[in-house]
Amino acid sequence: MQVTVTGKQIDVGDSLRGHVEAATTTIVEKYFGRAIEAHVVFSRERHLFLSVISVHAGRGLMVQCHGSSADAYAAFDEAGQRLEKQLRRYKRWLRNHHKARNDEEPEAAPEATDYVLAQGDEEPAGGDGDAKDQPLVIAEMRTSIPQLSVSEAVMRLDLADLPALLFRNSKHGNLNLVYRRRDGNVGWIDPDLAAKSRRATGDKGS
């Protein structure tokens, strides 16, 4: 597994880099022998070092954990402990659900475009009317929408420390959304497209 260690406006010395590479490899390969890559980023916030570990453990499976401390080693070790806890929980989840895993999705995941929109009151340059109602796009990238059960979607939300996750419900194929609520619980949105279709059919037949 390839481990990349970088610093944002701070220098990552050889000793810290070696510690991070060895520890990350040991933790990840304990649970995922064929993990693809890991990226560890260090930064500073006032008197604290911040460490973020991002692991690409398989196709569509991302894990991200954070740590902070007055010492860079301690910041990484805290993130590493969280990483191991998350991976252990995920392996336990797989066993409890009797779900055989491999690196392939059961079906080809639909492709989509992921846009990053500008904040604030910025508007697209030039044009009137409809152009003013369109948000300013500052970046876009291709992504895929995985087919998952609701419980696996919630697990992936936690693993990647995401605010929300769009997925195709493996039970009925409709697009669903799980998201982190302000109270700490997870919300789940499941549009009842089948019922809507039945109602529309009934209205036409009446």
In the chain, where the domains are located: 2-96, 111-205
pLDDT, residue 101, reads 46
Beta carbons of 137 and 122 less than 8 angstroms apart: no
CATH class as words, domain 2-96? alpha beta
Contact call for residues 64 and 48 (beta carbons, < 8 A): no
Over residues 161-173, the mean pLDDT reads 89
What type of residue is 192? D
CA–CA dist 87, 37 (Å, integer): 15
Return d(Cα 165, Cα 156) in angstroms, integer. 8
pLDDT in tens, 25-61: 999 999 887 778 999 999 999 899 999 999 988 767 8
- Domain 111-205 in CATH 3.30.505.50? The answer is yes
Q: How confident is the model at residue 180 (pLDDT cuts 50, 70, 90)?
A: very high
